[in-house]
């Protein structure tokens, strides 16, 4: 593939609406558990609350990851259909050899 075409393809990937709408899944911060007994005893109630916060936040995080995975597969199916249509059209126009990726990149 010519460098200009490769650059254009990469640019289109980054400005495509599906890319712009991709979910950003941010994992919850993990609780800190003090190692020494004195701090553990002093902050046990806060650590317990932090664990509860973590577990309440990890469920939506996992749901976000699942949704992002489903979106990625759906988009991959769309791009695969476009890929198939591209090669069909290239073949119909007699361009298959001309547009085929080089086996040797040099």
- Phi-psi region for residue 94, left (φ > 0), alpha (ψ -120 to 50) or beta? left
State pLDDT tens for residues 18-28: 554 567 999 99
23-72: pLDDT as tens digits: 799 999 999 999 999 999 999 999 999 999 999 999 999 999 999 999 99
pLDDT cut 90: percent of the chain above it: 68
Q: How much is the pLDDT for 99? A: 84
Is the pLDDT at 11 greater than 70? The verdict is no
Q: Please tell me the distance from the alpha carbon of residue 85 to that of residue 89, in angstroms, as a whole number.
A: 6
Q: What is the pLDDT of residues 83-106, one digit of tens each?
A: 999 999 999 999 988 888 875 655
């Amino acid at each position: 593939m010519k460098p200009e075409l490769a650059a254009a393809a990469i640019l289109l990937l980054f400005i495509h609406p599906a890319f712009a709408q991709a979910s950003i899944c941010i994992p919850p911060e993990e609780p800190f558990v003090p190692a020494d007994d004195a701090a553990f005893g002093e902050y046990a109630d806060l650590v317990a609350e932090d664990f509860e916060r973590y577990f309440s936040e990890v469920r939506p995080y996992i749901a976000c990851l699942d949704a992002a995975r489903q979106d990625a597969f759906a988009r991959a199916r769309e791009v695969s259909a476009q890929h198939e249509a591209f090669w069909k059209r290239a073949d119909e126009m007699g361009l298959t050899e001309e547009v085929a990726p080089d086996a040797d990149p040099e």
